[in-house]
Amino acid sequence: MVFEGLADRLQNTIKKMTGKGKVSEQDVKEMAREVRLALLEADVNFKVVKDFVKQIRERAVGTEVMESLTPGQQVVKIVKEELTSLMGGEQSKIAVADRPPTVIMMVGLQGAGKTTTTGKLANLLRKKHNRKPLLVAADVYRPAAIDQLKTVGKQLDIPVFAKGTDANPVDIAEEALAHAKEEHYDYVIIDTAGRLHIDEGLMGELTEIKAKADPAEIFLVVDAMTGQDAVNVAESFDQQLNITGVVLTKLDGDTRGGAALSIKAVTEKPIKFIGMGEKLDQLEAFHPERMASRILGMGDVLSLIEKAQENVDEKKAKELEEKMRSASFTFDDFLDQMEQVKSMGPLDDLLAMIPGANKMKGLKNVQFDDKQLVHVEAIVKSMTKQERQDPSLINASRKKRIAQGSGRSVAEVNRLLKQFSEMKKMMKQMTGMQGGKKGKRKKGFNLPFM
Amino acid sequence: MSFFKKLKEKFTSSAETEEVSDKYKSGLSKTRHSFASKLNDLVARYRKVDEEFFEDLEELLIQADVGVNTVMELVEELEMEAKRQNIKDASDLKELISEQLVQIYSNGDFVDEVPLNLNQDGLSVILFVGVNGVGKTTSIGKLAHQLKADGKKVLLAAGDTFRAGAIEQLSVWADRVGVDIIKHSEGSDPAAVIYDGIQAARSRGVDVLLCDTAGRLQNKVNLMNELNKVKRVIEREIPQAPHEVLLVLDATTGQNALSQAKTFAQATDVSGIVLTKLDGTAKGGIVLAIRKELNIPVKYVGLGEKVTDLETFDPNAFVYGLFADMLEG
């Protein structure tokens, strides 16, 4: 990760304080500064940061932090709580109009990901809600935008209403609606052209579409990497269209996504979905708590667990958990798990969700390439049964044999053995953390400031 | 003579430079207004230079998406400088602030425009890279138009074989501009498209080959490796190529722009930046941050959706544009 998280930042401040019996007001001030910097680095709007830090300071100056034995931990806890509550509850429901079809309008700047999100949303409505959606190609300006939506429609096998680039977007929307009524579609999702929030002419076009189509939802699609300008964009779209929700895209990148907080704070409209990849099923519900962790650079254990639950056979998972706990995890189990892990998505995505993983020796700066999995598999399969059970058996000549057997180099074999032992350590820490019991927690995963 | 005075003289003394700076002034009017006028406001609000003044200054700069690190360093330096020179009046600090900012970009002297590195007698290959939705394809269309107007024979290679409609999008641009395009079907190997592009460019006597690639987030290792492969294919065919690797950045992007620049530079030796969507944003500060932390020159800026809305980046005019109100007022 590019920027150090809040926890790392605070750690330095805390270090200076250790040995002191009590936290002074000056200390709180310094911690507040670190909170401020962490949020600014995450692209949270400076005005939002200002109000937020003021709130934090008020709470922190109270007894909560000052009398705590672990002030750093307290501050992080407060910050996370406040962030989570600021971003509001989980709200991934999609409105239903009194009379079908329900119209959803997708709006936003150029390149935010409206067309892709339109496809994903339709897919979600059909898959999870069992609805019949119609896509409407109302972006007549960008070259081949209509082709793009048509291709997306074809991939999903969802019909697309298009009239070419010479038609007026307002007319397109109107005709699409009539068509949808006739054909009994449940949802009509209108993909509009990207436009600047300051472009009066094009913003006027959206207001017209809104007036004619009477949408139940207007989703503002925002690139999660947006900087300080996110508030202006959101404010202006909201003022002119009264949006009903926000979809945050490209969150599978390494951005902290502070824009989420800014937009929520300014518009008070819920963030409903997040885009987590280029595939058309990668649209997820927004979880404020996870987003708070992410903005603070604290990892995302919940998503990891959820991902695991989605893809891992429960019985096998129980067995695995037992093995992780007792540290009797072997290369055989590893091979077994590799199949399951492969189904969970790219490895470095998973790794990024583990708090502190980037700090672990040996794992630092490791970049996983999914093709490596094939190599790893070959290496493990070239080990004898005994070796898989007890990797400590593997000496230099065995390494050479394994390397030859798998067609990889000895260095690669070494690397895998090292990674395996790191992984074992990591698993122990993770299970310790999930244990949740107080006494156990100390032994397990320790956040650096605890 | 201070650099600022030199800059002012340069842009007020000749008609030609005035024209250049006018273009920037109107294109960047949002950036300029929000920056120069806000700085004026700030100075007017605070008579005295105190801690709060510096905090507000910090926010002013952060608001323009100048990187947090850059801002912190800058303000710290200013604070020290103010102490050293015993500056108490905020208006006395105005010029110092501007000078420090210019310093980041120029190191105290004029910076030359960095023109495209083109092979004057033979084929030049330009590779476009960047994350999703920044405007790679549009920038290629605009640059093709410009190069064609300069009398070059241009060929496009539709290397974005992944995103739905990307090939069609580039084809529309090829028609619009009136240049040829090499394309395969969706889902095919991008390196193969680029390879075919080079072969076609050679046999048709093309001057400049513009290669599109699919947008990719910089933390996707596989996709970055794929990009590296595309670059290797180009290198294998023409040892000096690609003559330019242009990273396209969206000006509305926040701190992540730096991460993008760093990672793409590692994978493909980025030689220049195209900063798009600068017309819609009150920013431009990102130019300073990239310059300071990565030292990659900005070569073009996108100032609108029309085919002619791509400008070569003139750093002096840009800096002048940022502070024009203040300098003239």
**Residue A411 predicted with pLDDT over 50:** yes
Chain B nearest-CA residue for A151: B164
**Residue A145 predicted with pLDDT over 90:** yes
The single residue listed with the structure tokens 């230079």 is B49
* Fold observed for domain B124-313: Rossmann fold (3.40.50)
Interface check for B8 against chain A (CB to CB < 8 A): the answer is no
Interface-testing mutation among B63, B248, B255, B277, with chain A (most A C-beta atoms within 10 A):
B255
Which one is predicted more confidently, A304 or B291? B291
Given this chain, do its domains B3-112+321-328 and B124-313 carry the same CATH topology?
no
Predicted pLDDT of residue A90: 65
Interface check for B305 against chain A (CB to CB < 8 A): the answer is yes
**Polymer length of chain A:** 450
Across the interface, whether the CB atoms of A46 and B59 are under 8 A apart is answered yes
List CB contacts (< 8 A) between A164 and chain B: none
Nearest to B221 among A112, A199, A348 (CB): A348
d(CA B225, nearest CA chain A) in Å: 9
Question: What 3-state class would DSSP assign to A248?
Answer: strand
Determine the average pLDDT of the residues in A6-20. Answer: 63
Chain B nearest-CA residue for A141: B305
Angle formed at CA B215 by CA B214 and CA B218, multiple of 5 degrees: 125
Interface check for B34 against chain A (CB to CB < 8 A): the answer is no
List CB contacts (< 8 A) between B279 and chain A: 196
Sequential DSSP letters for A129-147: T---EEEEEE--SSTTHHH
Total Cβ atoms within 10 A of residue B11: 23
Predicted pLDDT of residue A6: 63
d(CA B254, nearest CA chain A) in Å: 3
Query: A69-98 pLDDT, tens per residue?
Result: 666 667 777 888 888 888 876 666 888 888
Interface-testing mutation among B76, B185, B219, with chain A (most A C-beta atoms within 10 A):
B219
Tell me the longest C-alpha to C-alpha distance in chain A. Answer: 77
Predicted pLDDT of residue A377: 84
Predicted pLDDT of residue A116: 95
Distances in whole angstroms, Cα of residue B55 to Cα of each of A11, A36, A346, B66, B96? 23, 11, 42, 15, 16
- Its CATH architecture, for the domain A6-86, is Up-down Bundle (1.20)
Interface check for A191 against chain B (CB to CB < 8 A): the answer is no
The single residue listed with the structure tokens 């390439």 is A369
Q: Using CA atoms, how far apart are residues A387 and A405, in angstroms rounded to an integer?
A: 14
Buried b (16+ CB within 10 A) or exposed e, A179-205: bbeeeebbbbbbbbbbbbbeeeebbeb
Buried b (16+ CB within 10 A) or exposed e, B114-145: eebebeeeebbbbbbbbbbbbbbbbbbbbbbb
Q: Using CA atoms, how far apart are residues B135 and B140, in angstroms rounded to an integer?
A: 9
Total Cβ atoms within 10 A of residue A358: 18
Interface check for B123 against chain A (CB to CB < 8 A): the answer is no
- Cβ within 8 Å of A, B 220-239: 220-222, 225
Q: Using CA atoms, how far apart are residues A77 and A83, in angstroms rounded to an integer?
A: 10
Q: Using CA atoms, how far apart are residues B112 and B98, in angstroms rounded to an integer?
A: 20
Interface check for A426 against chain B (CB to CB < 8 A): the answer is no
Beta-bridge partner residues of A217: A104
- Secondary structure element (H or E) that encloses residue A263, with its range: helix A259-267
Determine the average pLDDT of the residues in B157-161. Answer: 95
Q: Which residues contact A265 (CB under 8 A, 6 or more apart)?
A: A45, A48, A51, A52, A86, A231
Tell me which residue of A249, A198, A196 sits closest to A219, measured CA to CA.
A249
Across the interface, whether the CB atoms of B280 and A109 are under 8 A apart is answered yes
The single residue listed with the structure tokens 């339709």 is A122
**Residue B252 predicted with pLDDT over 60:** yes
- Cβ within 8 Å of A, B 51-110: 59, 62-65, 68, 72
List CB contacts (< 8 A) between B130 and chain A: none
**Residue B58 predicted with pLDDT over 70:** yes
Determine the average pLDDT of the residues in A52-71. Answer: 74
d(CA A228, nearest CA chain B) in Å: 6
Determine the average pLDDT of the residues in A425-437. Answer: 59
Residue A449: pLDDT band (50, 70, 90) is very low
**Is this complex's ipTM strictly greater than 0.90?**
no
Lowest model confidence (mean pLDDT) among A249-263, B188-202, B236-250? A249-263
Chain A nearest-CA residue for B31: A229
Q: Using CA atoms, how far apart are residues B259 and B133, in angstroms rounded to an integer?
A: 16
Which one is predicted more confidently, A324 or A142? A142
Determine the average pLDDT of the residues in B283-289. Answer: 71
**Residue B321 predicted with pLDDT over 90:** no
d(CA B24, nearest CA chain A) in Å: 19
Residue B6: pLDDT band (50, 70, 90) is low
List CB contacts (< 8 A) between B287 and chain A: none
Question: What 3-state class would DSSP assign to A220?
Answer: strand
H-assigned helices in A42-161: 46-61, 63-66, 71-86, 114-127, 145-156
The single residue listed with the structure tokens 């990565």 is B294
Residue A64: pLDDT band (50, 70, 90) is low
- Cβ within 8 Å of B, A 166-185: none
Question: What 3-state class would DSSP assign to B274?
Answer: strand
**Residue A365 predicted with pLDDT over 70:** no
Interface check for B277 against chain A (CB to CB < 8 A): the answer is yes
Please state the φ and ψ torsions of residue B209, each to the nearest 5 degrees.
-105, 120
Interface check for B312 against chain A (CB to CB < 8 A): the answer is no
List CB contacts (< 8 A) between B168 and chain A: 143-144, 147-148
Nearest to B252 among A226, A370, A371 (CB): A226
Across the interface, whether the CB atoms of B172 and A143 are under 8 A apart is answered yes
**Residue B145 predicted with pLDDT over 90:** yes
Predicted pLDDT of residue B308: 86
Per-domain boundaries in chain A:
6-86, 102-287, 302-443
What DSSP state is assigned to residue B89?
A: B
d(CA A99, nearest CA chain B) in Å: 33
Determine the average pLDDT of the residues in B288-302. Answer: 82
Q: What is the mean pLDDT of chain B?
A: 83
Question: What 3-state class would DSSP assign to B124?
Answer: strand
Interface check for A388 against chain B (CB to CB < 8 A): the answer is no
Predicted pLDDT of residue A99: 85
List CB contacts (< 8 A) between B181 and chain A: none
- Cβ within 8 Å of A, B 280-299: 280-283, 286
Which one is predicted more confidently, A304 or A139? A139
- Domain A102-287 superfamily per CATH: P-loop containing nucleotide triphosphate hydrolases (3.40.50.300)
Residue B265: pLDDT band (50, 70, 90) is very high
**Residue A445 predicted with pLDDT over 50:** no
Determine the average pLDDT of the residues in A281-293. Answer: 86
Predicted pLDDT of residue B280: 63
List CB contacts (< 8 A) between A46 and chain B: 59, 62-63
Q: Is beta strand A271-275 parallel, antiparallel or unpaired with respect to A283-285?
A: antiparallel
The single residue listed with the structure tokens 């057997």 is A405
Beta-bridge partner residues of B89: B48
Does the domain at residues A302-443 carry the CATH identifier 1.10.3470.10?
no
Helices and strands (H and E) in chain B: how many: 14, 8
- Secondary structure element (H or E) that encloses residue B13, with its range: helix B3-13
d(CA B279, nearest CA chain A) in Å: 9
Across the interface, whether the CB atoms of B255 and A109 are under 8 A apart is answered no
Sequential DSSP letters for A287-326: -HHHHHHHHTT---HHHHHHHHHHHS-HHHHHHHHHHHHH
What DSSP state is assigned to residue B227?
A: H
Chain A nearest-CA residue for B168: A144
Distances in whole angstroms, Cα of residue B19 to Cα of each of A140, B4, B111, B321? 34, 19, 18, 12
Per-domain boundaries in chain B:
3-112+321-328, 124-313
Across the interface, whether the CB atoms of A198 and B280 are under 8 A apart is answered yes
d(CA B302, nearest CA chain A) in Å: 13
Buried b (16+ CB within 10 A) or exposed e, B287-320: bbbbbbebebbbbbbbbbbeeebbbebbbbbbbb
Residue A25: pLDDT band (50, 70, 90) is confident
Predicted pLDDT of residue A205: 95
Across the interface, whether the CB atoms of A348 and B219 are under 8 A apart is answered yes
Interface check for B256 against chain A (CB to CB < 8 A): the answer is yes
Residue A178: pLDDT band (50, 70, 90) is very high
Q: Which residues contact B245 (CB under 8 A, 6 or more apart)?
A: B126, B127, B129, B231, B268, B269, B270, B271, B272
Predicted pLDDT of residue A450: 26
Q: Using CA atoms, how far apart are residues A229 and A217, in angstroms rounded to an integer?
A: 24
Residue A438: pLDDT band (50, 70, 90) is very low
Across the interface, whether the CB atoms of A148 and B169 are under 8 A apart is answered yes
Q: Using CA atoms, how far apart are residues B40 and B51, in angstroms rounded to an integer?
A: 18
- Secondary structure element (H or E) that encloses residue B244, with its range: strand B244-250
**Residue A235 predicted with pLDDT over 60:** yes
d(CA A149, nearest CA chain B) in Å: 8
Chain B nearest-CA residue for A225: B253
Sequential DSSP letters for B41-87: HHHHH-SB--HHHHHHHHHHHHHTT--HHHHHHHHHHHHHHHHHTT-
Secondary structure of A332-375 in the HEC alphabet? HHHHHHHHHHHCCCCHHHHHHCCCCHHHCCCCCCCCCCHHHHHH
Interface check for A141 against chain B (CB to CB < 8 A): the answer is yes
Interface-testing mutation among B61, B186, B252, with chain A (most A C-beta atoms within 10 A):
B252
Tell me the longest C-alpha to C-alpha distance in chain B. Answer: 69
- Secondary structure element (H or E) that encloses residue B149, with its range: helix B136-149
Residue pair A314/A109 in contact (Cβ under 8 Å)? The answer is no
Q: Which of A94-98, B3-7, B140-144 has the highest mean pLDDT?
A: B140-144
- The distance of Cα A368 from the centroid of its chain, to the nearest Å, equals 19
Q: Using CA atoms, how far apart are residues B172 and B24, in angstroms rounded to an integer?
A: 29
Q: What is the mean pLDDT of chain A?
A: 80
Percent of chain A scoring above 90 in pLDDT: 34
Predicted pLDDT of residue A83: 84
Predicted pLDDT of residue A443: 34
**Backbone CA torsion sign across A253, A256, A257, A260:** positive
Which one is predicted more confidently, A353 or A110? A110
Residue pair B155/B206 in contact (Cβ under 8 Å)? The answer is yes
d(CA A219, nearest CA chain B) in Å: 18
Residue pair B64/A228 in contact (Cβ under 8 Å)? The answer is yes
Residue A174: pLDDT band (50, 70, 90) is very high
**Residue B168 predicted with pLDDT over 70:** yes
Strands of B251-326, DSSP E = 272-276, 298-302, 310-312
Query: A195-213 pLDDT, tens per residue?
Result: 988 888 999 999 999 999 9
Determine the average pLDDT of the residues in B248-270. Answer: 90
Residue B59: pLDDT band (50, 70, 90) is confident
CB pairs under 8 A between A and B: 159
Query: A325-338 pLDDT, tens per residue?
Result: 666 778 887 777 77
Q: Using CA atoms, how far apart are residues B109 and B316, in angstroms rounded to an integer?
A: 9
Question: What 3-state class would DSSP assign to B127?
Answer: strand
Total Cβ atoms within 10 A of residue A448: 12
Q: Is beta strand B298-302 parallel, antiparallel or unpaired with respect to B310-312?
A: antiparallel
Interface check for A51 against chain B (CB to CB < 8 A): the answer is no
Predicted pLDDT of residue B132: 94
Does the domain at residues B3-112+321-328 carry the CATH identifier 1.20.120.140?
yes
Across the interface, whether the CB atoms of A144 and B171 are under 8 A apart is answered yes
Distances in whole angstroms, Cα of residue A24 to Cα of each of A18, A20, A69, B44? 12, 9, 13, 35
